[in-house]
Amino acid sequence: MMEATDKYMESRIFGYARVSTRDQNLDMQLDVLQQQKCIKIFCEKISGIKKRPELERCLSSLKEGDVLVVYKLDRLARSLSEIVRICSELENKKIRIRSVKDNIDTTDYMGKFTMHIFAALAEFERNVIIERTREGREAALKRGKIFGRPKGLSSLAQKKVKQAARLYQQGNSIKHICQQIEIKSKSTLYRYLQLENIQLRAGSKFPSLEKRLCPENRK
């Protein structure tokens, strides 16, 4: 019975190291992880990529009761929300996480408390991003910004949109631009400028336009 208990108490220790954009050398991380008696260390030697095959291999190798050791938590992921997601998944599988430099171990009270704080901060960060995006969108809509792919524009009309924006920003008159890109209606030109989120010159403003494009621009 004692042997079974001791065997259960023994944990396999795995390490994970990842280079950073600033530091492409893993030596310091490896020295620390080797001191933690890792039976295997997974090394990610490429930075700045979304897919991390070594991390995926590492996570798939972990089983209940195992320990994952990293030099710092930011080696696991670039964002706080991603770190929280990975740690939560491991905790649900009863896998410990130990961050040497951060002095975090999820088996003790302080380690769990720290992870709860991180989770709250990640949620706060997400809410701030959502709120800023909403406010930015509302402000852009008030300025005449139109979101999404323009509906009903032919390839020729799409080229004219780019040309109109460029000519207007170069200081050309509305009349001259209409002549240059061969459109008959000033309202169509204003529509083009709105699609490119072009701010009109002082003293000018967009006329009231229908949401639907003029027939001449449709396929």
In the chain, the largest separation of any two C-alpha atoms, in whole Å, equals: 93
What is the Cα–Cα distance from 146 to 211, expressed in whole angstroms? Answer: 10
- Separation of alpha carbons 88 and 120, rounded Å: 13
Catalytic residue among 11, 20, 47, 187: 20
Q: How far apart are the C-alpha atoms of 193 and 195, rounded to whole Å?
A: 5
DSSP string, 150-209: PTT--HHHHHHHHHHHHHHHTT--HHHHHHHHT-S-HHHHHHHHHHTTPPPPTT--PPP-
Q: 43 near 17, Cβ under 8 Å?
A: yes
Q: In whole angstroms, what is the distance from residue 219 CA to residue 215 CA?
A: 9
Angle between helices 155-169 and 174-181 (to 10 degrees): 150
Active site residue 204: no
CA 88/CA 84 separation, integer angstroms: 6
What is the tally of helices (H) and strands (E) in the chain?
Answer: 8, 5
Residue 186 CB-half CA count within 13 A: 8
Catalytic residues: 20
